[in-house]
């Protein structure tokens, strides 16, 4: 498809700490103008970290948008200019205390292509050794370990609803299956 929505006018509605909000007036395929509200976000990393025993490191923390705890894989925002691969090792260590001998790129995850340009870079982390955690001051994170089969059951029963976790676990399982072929 070669169709592209041209921007007629672009307005920055809000410039914030974690995200910006932009309001673009565009020309749609129907030839009529419309509005696209776009969340700008610096992106991040999300990590499927697998112990030598085959357990996957999970976190539980309070998430203000949902006003409750959420079970997730370790993840974090990219610092400005930071390489995603560097961020992967940094976030894993800060949040879980684990260092990974092997960090392998899986794929990129766009959580909400309709209104957000955020990209999350997903990595498979293996060869883990335990050290000290160093979470951000604003974070209170509990760490858990689950088998892949346990997590699959939790996804099917609606107990694991975090998008990046579901997507990254799938991408990791596809990669591992390809290697075992």
- What positions carry a catalytic annotation? 137
Q: How many CB atoms lie within 10 A of CB 21?
A: 15
Q: Is residue 144 within the footprint of its own copies (CB under 8 A)?
A: no
Q: Is residue 163 within the footprint of its own copies (CB under 8 A)?
A: yes
65 vs 80, beta carbon nearer its own copies: 65
> Sheet of 6-15: strands edge to edge?
6-15, 19-27, 33-41
Residue whose structure tokens are 């909000």: 21
Q: Is residue 140 within the footprint of its own copies (CB under 8 A)?
A: yes
Count of residues in contact with its own copies, rule CB under 8 A? 72
Residue whose structure tokens are 């999970």: 58
Q: Is residue 38 within the footprint of its own copies (CB under 8 A)?
A: yes
How is residue 100 written in tokens?
């990974």
Q: Is residue 66 within the footprint of its own copies (CB under 8 A)?
A: yes
Provide the mask over 110-139, with x wherever binding to its own copies is found by CB under 8 A and - wherever it is not.
Answer: xxxxxxxxxxx----------------xxx
Q: How many CB atoms lie within 10 A of CB 146?
A: 16
């Amino acid at each position: 498809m070669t169709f592209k929505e041209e921007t007629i006018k672009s307005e920055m509605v809000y410039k914030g700490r974690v995200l910006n909000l932009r309001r673009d007036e565009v020309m749609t395929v129907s030839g009529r103008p419309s509005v696209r509200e776009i969340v700008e976000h610096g992106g991040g990393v999300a990590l499927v970290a697998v112990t030598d025993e085959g357990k996957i490191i999970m976190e539980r923390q309070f998430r203000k948008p949902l006003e409750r705890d959420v079970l997730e894989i370790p993840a974090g925002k990219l610092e400005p200019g930071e390489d995603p691969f560097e961020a992967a090792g940094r976030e894993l260590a800060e949040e879980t205390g684990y260092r990974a001998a092997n960090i392998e790129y899986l794929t990129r995850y766009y959580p909400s292509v309709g209104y957000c340009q955020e990209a999350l870079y997903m990595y498979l982390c293996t060869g883990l050794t335990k050290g000290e955690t160093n979470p951000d001051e604003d974070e209170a994170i509990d760490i858990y370990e689950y088998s892949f089969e346990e997590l699959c059951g939790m996804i099917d029963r609606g107990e694991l609803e975090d998008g990046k976790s579901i997507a990254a676990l799938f991408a990791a399982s596809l990669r591992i299956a390809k290697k075992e072929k």
